[in-house]
A and B are shown apart, each in its own frame.
Chain A
């Protein structure tokens, strides 16, 4: 479930990156992060499948829920990393403009 949620996040981030008007939102970091994690969890899934066989596809409901919750938290963490980096690098100068604005 974590893998599935991360793959969806990676695809959405990629589509958003492809349809971007300019590079000011720095979406690249987001899609690399999600694709990197997706590939790594894919390998994890293969090893788990080799170990447990068909049982891998019939997990207990508590495991599915826990994995889904983890997946959502992973997506949220990725978004937090991206937004913090965006604010620090400030490619549009919005943060600087807000900080230097005179009342």
Chain B
């Protein structure tokens, strides 16, 4: 019904945090000079989360348009036309929507851990030759 809205809302929050973090990292780099530490910046990791959430939300919104649950006129969600459907929609957002956002965040967390491990491991001969 409108489960994608939860992920879209999380994406908006993540975008704001990402912008703040990118600014902080730039300020830190200008104050302390360029540090040759091999690690993935947190702002880039936040960008991954934003892309996952926003990309998924856009494609899911299309599915809802397909099923006639999202329309081009106010209030944009057909479930908002009566109280019973609206209650059902909020229930779905609280269960399916929150689970979707949670799973994406957990997968992103694992992705960040794996990415940190990859950049920390020594470069093999084959990778050196590639470079």
Residues of A within 8 A of B (CB): 2, 6, 28-29, 32-44, 46-47, 70, 73-74, 77-78, 81
A32, A38, A44 — most chain B CB neighbours (10 Å):
A32
- Which residue of B4, B7, B52 is within 8 Å of A35 (Cβ)? B52
Is B51 in contact with A32, judged by CB distance below 8 angstroms? yes
Q: Does A41 lie within 8 Å of B55, measured CB to CB?
A: no
Binding stretch for chain A, among B59-67, B78-86, B114-122: B59-67
- The contact of A37 among B60, B95, B96, by CB within 8 Å, is B60
Chain B: CB-nearest residue to A38: B56
Q: How many A-B residue pairs have C-beta atoms within 8 angstroms? Tell me.
A: 76
On B, residues with C-beta under 8 Å from A are: 3-4, 7, 48, 51-60, 62-63, 66, 95-96, 99-100, 103-104, 107
User: A102 vs B88: C-alpha distance in the bound complex, in angstroms?
Assistant: 60
Given contacts A36-B104, A40-B7, contact A73 B66 (CB under 8 A): yes
If A39-B107, A43-B96, A44-B100 touch, does A33 touch B59 (CB 8 Å cutoff)? yes
Nearest A residue to B55 by beta-carbon distance? A33
Closest to A37 in B: B59
Give which listed residue, B3, B55, B99, contacts A36 with CB less than 8 A.
B55
Q: Which of A34, A36, A44, A47 has the most CB of B within 10 A?
A: A36
A50 → B minimal CB distance (Å):
10
Which of A2, A40, A44, A46 interacts with B104 by CB under 8 Å? A40
